[in-house]
């Protein structure tokens, strides 16, 4: 950040590696191992999801009616685009196209912001309806409709309202669905924010000329992480929205 005075992308490898390639290989391997731990962690949530959706399919079916699949689809598209742009930015670095690399990283970051913005919208809308996880769930089919109209004058969820009105009686323990919804998307959202932080850091380092064809390991790692975050969402979207 401050040491932009030395524009050199000559990276000296650490003393315990034979060469820069050796270090790059090891680092990339390490990142892949780390991604395995991420998959195992989300795996726990998916196992829980499978267990409960098998046990109470009606809860998950009813719960998903409260989500707007269009918003989920937009977010899926946004993340897919961002995965593409971050991959291209690595190619740009390899081709010494600093400007283009930075532009692609910025597009990735904007995509991340759009994703989080839409998530924020979805969350606040649910909170206005009284949809909270587990024991704090206090959605009232009629009372909540008023409050949601008051709080949310935008018609962003017209489709949802139509469906919700038909459901006079919600299945027992429907809050369990929202427990999974909030925990899964919450942890995923945390990963999106961390990923954005990593990409921002790479953006700054690119601006400071620290990356070049010989050395771009952090960007490679951040991009792999971002792809994983994208991949997790690709599973979350159908599991939560498209039941």
Please report whether residue 25 would count as binding other proteins according to CB under 8 A.
Answer: yes
Is residue 1 within 8 A of residue 204, CB to CB? The reply is yes
Is residue 178 within 8 A of residue 139, CB to CB? The reply is no
Residue 212, classed as helix, strand or coil, is strand
Please report whether residue 127 would count as binding other proteins according to CB under 8 A.
Answer: no
Main-chain phi, psi angles of 203, to 5 degrees: -60, -45
* 66 vs 56: CA distance, rounded Å: 17
- Site residues for other proteins, 168-227, by CB under 8 A, read 172-173, 175-176, 179-180, 182-183, 187
What distance, in Å, lies between the first and last C-alpha atoms of the chain?
A: 47
- Provide the Cα torsion 126, 127, 131, 135; round to 10°: 150
* 27 vs 195: CA distance, rounded Å: 18
Q: Per CB under 8 A, which region of 29-37, 159-167, 210-218, 230-238 contacts other proteins?
A: 29-37
- Provide the Cα torsion 217, 223, 227, 228; round to 10°: 50
Q: Work out how close the CB of 4 gets to other proteins at its nearest, in angstroms, rounded to a whole number.
A: 23
Q: Among 180, 157, 152, which Cα is nearest to 239's?
A: 180
What are the structure tokens assigned to 43, written together? 């795996």
Q: Which residues pair with 212 in a beta bridge?
A: 215
Site string for other proteins, 134-173 (x = CB under 8 A): xxx-----------------------------------xx
Please report whether residue 133 would count as binding other proteins according to CB under 8 A.
Answer: yes
Please report whether residue 14 would count as binding other proteins according to CB under 8 A.
Answer: yes
Q: Number of residues interacting with other proteins: please give it, by CB under 8 A.
A: 42
Main-chain phi, psi angles of 45, to 5 degrees: -65, -40
- Site residues for other proteins, 44-63, by CB under 8 A, read 44-45, 47-48, 51-52, 55-56, 59
Query: Which residue lies nearer to other proteins by CB, 25 or 165?
Result: 25
DSSP state of 135: G
Please report whether residue 40 would count as binding other proteins according to CB under 8 A.
Answer: yes
Q: Work out how close the CB of 158 gets to other proteins at its nearest, in angstroms, rounded to a whole number.
A: 29
Q: Per CB under 8 A, which region of 60-68, 102-110, 131-139, 227-235 contacts other proteins?
A: 131-139
Please report whether residue 21 would count as binding other proteins according to CB under 8 A.
Answer: no
Which positions lie near other proteins, rule CB under 8 A? Answer: 14-17, 22, 25-27, 29-30, 33-34, 36-38, 40-45, 47-48, 51-52, 55-56, 59, 132-136, 172-173, 175-176, 179-180, 182-183, 187
């Amino acid at each position: 950040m401050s040491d932009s005075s030395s524009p050199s992308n000559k990276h000296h490898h650490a003393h315990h590696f034979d060469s820069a390639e050796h270090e790059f290989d090891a680092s990339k391997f390490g990142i892949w191992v780390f991604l395995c731990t991420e998959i195992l962690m989300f795996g726990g949530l998916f196992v829980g999801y499978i267990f409960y959706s098998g046990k109470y399919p009606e809860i998950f079916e009813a719960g998903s009616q409260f989500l707007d699949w269009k918003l989920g689809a937009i977010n899926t598209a946004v993340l897919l685009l961002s995965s593409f742009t971050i991959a291209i930015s690595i190619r740009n670095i390899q081709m010494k196209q600093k400007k283009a690399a930075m532009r692609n990283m910025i597009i990735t970051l904007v995509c991340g912001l759009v994703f989080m913005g839409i998530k924020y919208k979805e969350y606040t809308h649910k909170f206005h309806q009284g949809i909270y996880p587990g024991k704090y769930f206090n959605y009232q089919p009629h009372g909540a409709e008023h409050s949601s109209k008051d709080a949310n004058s935008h018609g962003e969820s017209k489709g949802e309202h139509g469906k919700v009105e038909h459901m006079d009686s919600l299945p027992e323990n429907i809050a369990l669905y929202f427990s999974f919804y909030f925990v899964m998307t919450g942890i995923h959202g945390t990963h999106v924010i961390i990923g954005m932080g990593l990409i921002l850091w790479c953006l700054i380092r690119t601006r400071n000329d620290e990356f070049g064809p010989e050395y771009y390991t952090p960007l490679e790692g951040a991009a792999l992480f971002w792809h994983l975050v994208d991949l997790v969402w690709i599973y979350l979207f159908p599991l939560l929205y498209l039941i």
